[in-house]
Structure 1
Amino acid sequence: MEDEPPSTDSKRESLWQRLKNRLCPCRIRSVEQTKHLVRHAADAEVFPVSTAGLIDSVLDFHELRVRDVMVPRGQMDVIEDSATLSDILSAAIESGHSRYPVIRANRDEVIGILLIKELMRFFADREEGGDSETFDLLALVRTPMFVPESKRLDALLAEFRLTRTHMAIVLDEFGGVAGLVTIEDVLEEIVGDIDDEFDVEERVNIRQQAPRRHTVRALTPISEFNAAFGTDFSDDEYDTIGGLVSNTLGHLPRRGEVARLGSYEFKVLGADRRRLHLLLVTKLDFEPTEEGSDDESEGQ
């Protein structure tokens, strides 16, 4: 049986599609074309440059993963399940967070999330001379949300909104705790850094994790790093230790990359497409030299 000829409607639709394609040559086929159009609109003062920046951030947002913005495991402020009311109060005053992961044996065993506002009635009872022995931390913690570090940020933001959750525990590919992420971390990728009243205070840029190992914020001034480690890195060209590491590698580092400066190894713990966030600094047992590197290569 012969095939039926195409209907008049399909011919008309095809003709309309071809006509539309011919009369509308400015079709957008990529994100880069969209960004170009946004920049052109900003230059023409269709909307402010600040709005163009927000649109650019939104266009890049879908490519970001949780691993790009999370707080690494070593930087997590946590509360142990055996903590007393006074212990928690001291921790909240020191760090200023409104939520804390509650752990049992170690940081791989997160049993819940504690909201500091849940403790207000206990503080009020204590001020009035009430009995603080009725305090039960485990009765106050909320079930934690766990997300893989490969999860897209746009999907995470949608999940945060759907579940009305503000914090999630990030798991690595082996099921261990890799860090945590908050809704603020996600939103900052669109609107930039969001500082609150606690961020006005000086942040801790350098934290010791082991006798020869420290986590260092990338924005740490080189002068502060030199004072803490007894080094003499120059700050003539770069002001921050992150800038120095980026210059050493010759590009904006990615998470996991390693650079060596003098007798120190710098491993990137946190970075995104626009900036470096956190470094793991390890003191080496030796200072690499050009001659030593050649010998090692020959031995291999």
Structure 2
Amino acid sequence: MGDTDEGPSSAAQSAQQDETETSPGLFSRLVNVFTAPVTSEENHETPRENVNAAGAMLGMLNLRRMRVEDVSIPKPDIVAVPVTITKDELVEVFRTSGLTRLPVYDGTLDTPIGIANLKDFALRHGFNGNRQELDLREMVRPLIFVPPSMPLGVLLQKMQAERIHMALVIDEYGGTDGLVTIEDVIEQVVGEIEDEHDIEEAKSWVLEKPGCYLAQARTDLDDFEAEIGFNLTEAEEIDEEEIDTLGGLVTMLAGHLPARGEVIVHPAGPEFEVVDADPRRIKRLRVRLTPASNG
């Protein structure tokens, strides 16, 4: 989107044409890696190696069979900023969201103009009290516009070729329908990717302060109950036979798949805030215990 005069509609039309292009890229190289001929020596792999290879192949198949709409963040969950935002307000959005790239729009999200990158902002304005006025139009980087039907493999090639890690999903009327990042795509191949700001893989939860935990949604419910000394499945509306994890408990309480930022209150008082989620699952939760439940 280097030329901002080209609106989302025309960008979406060009994206439709990109679905038929097959220029070599990261996708092609990944396919070659996982479809290389097997020698007679390689036929003696251990069962674990066979399982790992099968998992890798299934991940590669996701790039062919899955579409952008299968992994994109829906429009209501997109964290974006207006081009008129002030410097202090932008810092606060970066801080509270934990994101390093934010879509920038002019008026509404249906008129996006680019991406605000935290690194660009830090390099230009610094952290030492620089009072230079912020003009996001001078700082935004281009976005990719893609249709929801685009295969993930094609999107990955496009992101690699244009060196852009974020795309807006455009509907048939040229409006914004969702957002997808290169991390969302690669996770369909290699599994969930956690960075240094995520909970360490070896830890299912961390105690942020007394009575407040940051926990992975896949945390075993029995283990967490032992940690807090409180039974979370005694309420009548909870069927403990149907759930094994904190994420399952919260989804059952909500009656739907909660979105990022949503807070679900347990009948006994504890609050579950969805810190991180995508359209398919909850990833992380903040659990706030009441005095009565804080054993």
Distance, in Å, in 2 between the alignment partners of 1:113 and 1:95 is 15
Tell me: CA distance 1:239–1:73, structure 2 relative to 1, closer, same or farther (3 Å): farther
Tell me: CA distance 1:99–1:117, structure 2 relative to 1, closer, same or farther (3 Å): same
2:115 to 113, 116, 120: 113
1:96 to 95, 98, 104: 98
Q: What pairs with 1:193-232 in structure 2 (closer than 5 Å)? A: 193-200=192-199, 232=237
Per the alignment, residue 277 of structure 1 pairs with 281
Per the alignment, residue 9 of structure 1 pairs with none
Distance, in Å, in 1 between the alignment partners of 2:130 and 2:250 is 54
Tell me: CA distance 1:235–1:178, structure 2 relative to 1, closer, same or farther (3 Å): farther
Which structure has the larger Rg?
1
Pairing 1:165–2:169 present: no
Distance, in Å, in 2 between the alignment partners of 1:155 and 1:85 is 36
Q: Give the TM-score taking structure 2 as reference length.
A: 0.56
2:243 to 235, 238, 250: 238
Bigger helix fraction: 1
Identity %: 34
Pairing 1:60–2:59 present: no
Deviation of 1:244 after TM superposition, in Å, equals: 8.3
Amino acid at match of 1:154: G
Q: What pairs with 1:15-94 in structure 2 (closer than 5 Å)? A: 45=47, 47-94=49-96
Secondary structure of the structure 2 residue equivalent to 1:107? strand
By relative contact order (CA 8 Å, sep 6+), the higher-ranking structure is: 2
Tell me: CA distance 1:175–1:120, structure 2 relative to 1, closer, same or farther (3 Å): same
Amino acid at match of 1:132: Q
Tell me: CA distance 1:90–1:268, structure 2 relative to 1, closer, same or farther (3 Å): closer
Secondary structure of the structure 2 residue equivalent to 1:56? helix
Do the aligned partners of 1:149 and 1:171 also contact (CA within 8 Å) in 2?
yes
Tell me: CA distance 1:81–1:171, structure 2 relative to 1, closer, same or farther (3 Å): same
| Greater Cα offset, 86-95 or 187-196 | 86-95
Distance, in Å, in 2 between the alignment partners of 1:103 and 1:53 is 39
Do the aligned partners of 1:99 and 1:113 also contact (CA within 8 Å) in 2?
yes
Deviation of 1:81 after TM superposition, in Å, equals: 1.2
Do the aligned partners of 1:78 and 1:101 also contact (CA within 8 Å) in 2?
yes
Distance, in Å, in 1 between the alignment partners of 2:80 and 2:97 is 10
The ranges of structure 1 where at least 4 consecutive aligned residues each deviate by more than 3 angstroms after the TM superposition are 40-48, 217-223, 239-246, 264-269
Do the aligned partners of 2:62 and 2:152 also contact (CA within 8 Å) in 1?
no
Per the alignment, residue 6 of structure 1 pairs with none
Amino acid at match of 2:93: A
Do the aligned partners of 2:71 and 2:184 also contact (CA within 8 Å) in 1?
yes
Do the aligned partners of 2:63 and 2:189 also contact (CA within 8 Å) in 1?
yes
Number of equivalences = 201
Structure 1: which 5+ runs fail to align?
A: 1-33, 203-216, 247-260, 270-274, 279-300
Structure 2: which 5+ runs fail to align?
A: 1-34, 204-215, 225-231, 260-278, 283-295
Task: State the Cα RMSD in Å.
Answer: 3.9
Do the aligned partners of 2:59 and 2:189 also contact (CA within 8 Å) in 1?
yes
Distance, in Å, in 1 between the alignment partners of 2:79 and 2:60 is 29
Secondary structure of the structure 2 residue equivalent to 1:108? strand
Do the aligned partners of 1:219 and 1:277 also contact (CA within 8 Å) in 2?
no
Pairing 1:156–2:155 present: yes
Do the aligned partners of 1:73 and 1:177 also contact (CA within 8 Å) in 2?
yes
Secondary structure of the structure 2 residue equivalent to 1:132? coil
What are the superposed Cα offsets for residues 189-223 of structure 1, whole Å, 9 maximum, x if unpaired?
00000011222299xxxxxxxxxxxxxx9979999
Deviation of 1:79 after TM superposition, in Å, equals: 1.2
Amino acid at match of 2:189: I
Q: Give the TM-score taking structure 1 as reference length.
A: 0.55
